[in-house]
Structure 1
Amino acid sequence: MKQFTKGQFLKARKFMLEKARKVDRALYLFEFENGSKEDVLMELKTYQNQDGGFGNGLEPDFRCSDSSALASTVGMQYLSRVNADEEDEILNNTIAYFIQSYQPELHGWEKVPPEVESAPRAPWWNYQKAGADWGNPNAEVLGYFYEYKKLIPESMLSELTDHAISHLQGLQEYEFHELLCYLRLAEKAPHVSRREMTVHLDEFVSKCIIRNPEDWIGYGLQPTGVIQSPSSRYYPLFAESVEQNLDFIIEQQTDDGSFAPAWSWGQYEDIWLLAKEEWKGWITLEKLRLLREFNRIEEL
Structure 2
Amino acid sequence: MQRLSSQTFHSIREQLLLTARPLERAIFCYEFEDGKEETVLEALQTYQNDDGGFGNGLEPDFQLPDSSPMATSVAMQHLIRYADHPLAQNMIKRAISYLESTFDEERRGWFAVPPQVNEYPHAFWWTVRDNGQSWIDDNWGNPSAELIGYLHLFEHEVQNLHVPKLIDQALTHFLQLESFDAHETYCYLRLLAMVPNQRTDKVEKQLTKAVQSVVKLDRENWEKYVPFPLKFIATPEGNHFGLPAFKVEDNLDFFVEKLEEQSCISPTWAWTDYLATWEKAKKEWTGILTLGTLLSLRTFNRLDTEQ
Aligned with 2:167 (options 161, 172, 193):
161
The within-5 A match list for 1:1-300 is 1-84=1-84, 88-128=89-129, 129=133, 131-153=137-159, 156-191=162-197, 193-195=198-200, 197-234=203-240, 237-253=243-259, 257-300=263-306
Structural RMSD (CA): 1.8
In structure 1, what is the Cα distance between the partners aligned to 2:59 and 2:161? 30
Output one character per residue of 1:211-231: Cα deviation in whole Å (capped at 9) or x when no partner: 122211111100011112101
- SS of the residue 2:39 aligns to: helix
Q: Given that residues 210 and 223 in structure 1 are in contact (C-alpha distance below 8 angstroms), is that contact kept between their aligned partners in structure 2? A: yes
Q: Given that residues 26 and 39 in structure 1 are in contact (C-alpha distance below 8 angstroms), is that contact kept between their aligned partners in structure 2? A: yes
In structure 2, what is the Cα distance between the partners aligned to 1:204 and 1:34? 39
Structure 2, gaps ≥5 residues long? none
Aligned AA (2:98): Y
Output one character per residue of 1:134-176: Cα deviation in whole Å (capped at 9) or x when no partner: 1100111112222222223585212211210111011122110
Q: Given that residues 208 and 242 in structure 2 are in contact (C-alpha distance below 8 angstroms), is that contact kept between their aligned partners in structure 1? A: no
Q: Given that residues 86 and 148 in structure 1 are in contact (C-alpha distance below 8 angstroms), is that contact kept between their aligned partners in structure 2? A: no
TM norm structure 2: 0.92
In structure 1, what is the Cα distance between the partners aligned to 2:282 and 2:211? 28
- SS of the residue 1:2 aligns to: coil
Q: Given that residues 53 and 67 in structure 2 are in contact (C-alpha distance below 8 angstroms), is that contact kept between their aligned partners in structure 1? A: yes
In structure 2, what is the Cα distance between the partners aligned to 1:184 and 1:69? 15
In structure 2, what is the Cα distance between the partners aligned to 1:148 and 1:198? 24
- Give the Å deviation of 1:185: 0.6
Aligned AA (1:149): E
In structure 1, what is the Cα distance between the partners aligned to 2:164 and 2:86? 20
In structure 2, what is the Cα distance between the partners aligned to 1:66 and 1:232? 37
Aligned AA (2:33): E
Structure 1 outlier segments of 4+, above 6 Å: none
Q: Given that residues 85 and 91 in structure 1 are in contact (C-alpha distance below 8 angstroms), is that contact kept between their aligned partners in structure 2? A: no
Aligned AA (1:112): V
- Give the Å deviation of 1:112: 0.3
- Give the Å deviation of 1:57: 0.3
TM norm structure 1: 0.94
- SS of the residue 1:252 aligns to: helix
In structure 2, what is the Cα distance between the partners aligned to 1:221 and 1:81? 24
- Give the Å deviation of 1:85: 5.4
Count of matched residue pairs: 299
Aligned AA (1:240): F
- Give the Å deviation of 1:97: 0.6
Output one character per residue of 1:231-280: Cα deviation in whole Å (capped at 9) or x when no partner: 11117643111100011111222766321111111221110000000011
In structure 1, what is the Cα distance between the partners aligned to 2:55 and 2:160? 27
Q: Given that residues 5 and 298 in structure 1 are in contact (C-alpha distance below 8 angstroms), is that contact kept between their aligned partners in structure 2? A: yes
Q: Given that residues 86 and 151 in structure 1 are in contact (C-alpha distance below 8 angstroms), is that contact kept between their aligned partners in structure 2? A: no
Q: Using a 3 Å threshold, how does the CA distance of structure 1 residues 143 and 102 change in structure 2: closer, same or farther?
A: same
Structure 1, gaps ≥5 residues long? none
Aligned AA (2:113): V
Q: Using a 3 Å threshold, how does the CA distance of structure 1 residues 272 and 46 change in structure 2: closer, same or farther?
A: same
